[in-house]
Each structure stands twice: as C-alpha cells, then as structure tokens.
Structure 1
C-alpha cells in the first residue's frame, strides 16, 4: 500500500476563503480546481470538525459539520466567531481575513 502524498491546500484549490455568515459565525470555503481532487477529499472526509477546531483553537462544539458540495467542487465549514462582528476588539469585521489557518492544511493529492 502506498502512502498518499500530502500537498498544501493552496496547490489544490482555486479558492480558499473566509467570510461572515452573520455577525456570530464565520464560513470557511475551499473550492477545488479538479473534480478528482474534490472527490478524493470528500470520499476520505479529509476536512473534519476536529481539524478545523484544532487549527482555529476553538472547541469542536463551535465548529459545524463540513458540507461537501459536489456541483461546486467545494467544502464549506461554519464556526462560531470568537467575537461578534464589529464588537470592541474585533479585528476583521467582514471575516475575510480568517482563512489563514486553512493554508496549513495538507491534503492527499489525487493522481
């Protein structure tokens, strides 16, 4: 059995982004370049609540179940914002700069 090659998500996806999902939540999106890559990640459930919780330093209970949406070759995960959007101390009102931890994700590469 061969060990899968793990590749940074930025090399496999056209889009890696974050955005508000209302004032209390963030949505993380990964849109894969190739159908084969999306299919592999979806089949393996390679993006998990546990990984997102660890990457963002939040409890697993604050992370929604990843949604694998085949027509768009996309994975979406929603998590609770640490601060309400626009609250004192919030440094990213739109949630558009919160995708950084996703870039540390390494995924098995499709052939």
Structure 2
C-alpha cells in the first residue's frame, strides 16, 4: 500500500497490528535508522496522541521503544472484545491503518491527529 508523504505509513518501514489477548491490541512500527530517529522524537508517538486517534484514554496507552530492534510497540484496549458480537476486525489486523494514514507532525498544538483517509 502506498501512503501519502509525511504519514506514519510512508516514513516507517512497515506497520502492523494484531491482538494482544482478547481485550487489547498492539501496533508494531518497524523502522530503519532514519525513520527511528524521526518517529522516536518527542511527542510524535505520545500516549495522549495515540489516545485521541483511537478514542481511548492516555492512561491506557502503552508505548514501548525497542531500539535494538528499531521497533515501536503501542498497546491499548480494543474498542470491543475479540470475537464479540460487534467485533468487525477479529484479529485486529486492520487497526494499524488509522495510524499509518496519519501525518507524523501534527498541524497545531493540541490538534486531533487527522488521517489522510477514513474508512467506514
């Protein structure tokens, strides 16, 4: 998939999402040296920014930086439990798209991250 310049999906080497148990999901951002430097800069992957993007509380967002692997791991509660009657993404494999299509550098302080496209 091709992402717009300046988005997480364009800068990172790869982004994936998956379940982290039936109640949590995790997003893995794979980097090279250059993208690692840019994406680990202050506030680019802050819990409050991820919380606004995925409609969860910042206290529930865990961000893990794994410099040895050049990977950023983000975990937070699933919007609905896995395999529940309203679960539209059983394996959480599509949840990364919202982050991938979001511009890395926010337009203004306190602004809500805006993806370049929305899915219904």
Q: TM tier, shorter chain?
A: 0.7 to 0.9
More strand by share: 1
Match of 2:16 in 1: 17
Quick check: 1:51 aligned with 2:49? yes
Unmatched segments (≥5 aa) in structure 2 = 106-120
| Structure 2: distance between partners of 1:91 and 1:59 | 21
Runs of 4+ in 1 over 4 A off after TM superposition: none
| Structure 2: distance between partners of 1:105 and 1:87 | 28
Q: 1:60 aligns with which of 52, 58, 61?
A: 58
TM-superposed CA distance for 1:107, in Å, is 2.7
Unmatched segments (≥5 aa) in structure 1 = 1-5
More helix by share: 1
TM-superposed CA distance for 1:45, in Å, is 4.6
2:7–2:104 contact (8 Å) kept in structure 1: yes
Q: 1:92 aligns with which of 89, 92, 114?
A: 89
| Structure 1: distance between partners of 2:90 and 2:9 | 24
| Structure 2: distance between partners of 1:41 and 1:15 | 13
Q: Between the two structures, name the one with larger relative contact order (CA 8 Å, sep ≥ 6).
A: 1
